[in-house]
Amino acid sequence: MKSAVPIATVILAILAAWYVAAALMNAPLQRDLYANAGRTDYSTQDLIVDSLNMERPKLPGPHQVVGELWRLVFATAPTSKRSLVYHGLITLEETLIGFLIGAGLGIGLAVLIVAVRWLERSLMPWIVASQMVPIIALAPMIVVILYQFDITGVAPKAAIAAYLSFFPITVGMVKGFRSPDPLQLDLMRTYSATPLQTFLKLRAPASAPFFFASMKIGAAAAVVGAVVAEVTKSEDGGLGARLLAGSYYGQTVQIWAALFAAAALSAALVGIIGLIGRAAEQRMGFIP
């Protein structure tokens, strides 16, 4: 494992920077706590140790976040409303539904754009514009609009997840469908293949590496969309709701735990797609 050393070095550097930052940020708060308690005989070591173990720090130490994650993932019943597994599954459901819709929409748009040349000019500006609106501003409106049509529950959140995930998929797949080189396309012309045949036998298989790359970005975007949607409408739970609740009560440790849970969910999805992609590309002969 040649890569183990650099990976470990980076992780250690991040942890060290995190501890330093946490100590520096929390120390003033801890000093106030000492002052309130009338304590003046603390050493620097006391200050550092206590700064890293506060109940409501500005920035919790890594071990606090890990401890909180452990408590809320493994030491709490998954049915409990405090469990991150409970909330994580809610987020996962919204993410997966939104991602599937986003992927379908994204690939569909890419096919249209590649098949009908003028659609690129007429559709692309709208597709790009759709992503320039801050999702945090748009999300409540999507929820409200869908509520008008009696669409509630998972659907509005999945819609927001889909909204964020279709864009990278469209862009990636347009590039993928256009990836065949001129010679490969000329070959199809010499067979006087129909556009459909050229698409099915050349453009679609050639786009496979782009497909899996697009899916990874789309899945990560879907998680972000689902979490943002949950912040907007927190009564149904989900990791986003935990973020909101944590910030409401100043529970920074809980916020960070929810944040890491969302990141882990995202990483897991990207990892699974990566594995499927690797297996598929190997089978298709793209990689040895």
Partner 1 sequence: MGVASTPSPVRDDVGKAPLNEVAIDIIGLSLRFDTRDGPVQALSNINLKVARGEFVSFIGPSGCGKTTLLRAVADLETPTSGAIRVNGMSPHEARAKRAYGYVFQAPALYPWRTVASNIALPLEIMGFDKTEREARVKKGLDLVNLGGFGNKFPWQLSGGMQQRASIARALSFDPDLLLMDEPFGALDEIVRDMLNQQLLTLWEVTGKTVLFVTHSIPEAVFLSTHILVMSPRPGRIFDVIECNFPRDRQLEFRETPEFMAIANRVRHGLRQGHSYDG
Q: By CB under 8 A, tell whether 35 contacts partner 1.
A: no
Count, residues near partner 1 per rule CB under 8 A = 21
* CA 151 to centroid of chain Cα atoms: 24
The only residue of 18, 34, 42, 286 in contact with partner 1, by rule CB under 8 A: 286
Q: Among residues 63 and 283, whose Cβ is nearest to partner 1?
A: 283
Please, what is the minimum distance in Å from the beta carbon of residue 184 to partner 1? 6
Q: By CB under 8 A, tell whether 285 contacts partner 1.
A: yes
- Residues 212 to 251: which contact partner 1 by CB under 8 A? none
Please, what is the minimum distance in Å from the beta carbon of residue 206 to partner 1? 7
Q: By CB under 8 A, tell whether 206 contacts partner 1.
A: yes
Q: By CB under 8 A, tell whether 208 contacts partner 1.
A: yes
Q: Among residues 101 and 206, whose Cβ is nearest to partner 1?
A: 206
The only residue of 159, 202, 229, 269 in contact with partner 1, by rule CB under 8 A: 202
The rounded distance, in Å, linking the Cα atoms of 194 and 198 is 6
The rounded distance, in Å, linking the Cα atoms of 202 and 104 is 20
Please, what is the minimum distance in Å from the beta carbon of residue 176 to partner 1? 13
Q: Dig out the tokens for 273 from the structure.
A: 């797609």
* CA 105 to centroid of chain Cα atoms: 19
Region near partner 1 per CB under 8 A, out of 28-36, 56-64, 166-174, 203-211: 203-211
Q: Among residues 67 and 209, whose Cβ is nearest to partner 1?
A: 209
Please, what is the minimum distance in Å from the beta carbon of residue 168 to partner 1? 23
Site string for partner 1, 161-190 (x = CB under 8 A): --------------------x-xx-xxxxx
Region near partner 1 per CB under 8 A, out of 156-164, 197-205, 214-222, 259-267: 197-205
Report the interface residues with partner 1, using CB under 8 A.
Answer: 181, 183-184, 186-193, 197, 201-202, 205-206, 208, 284-286, 288
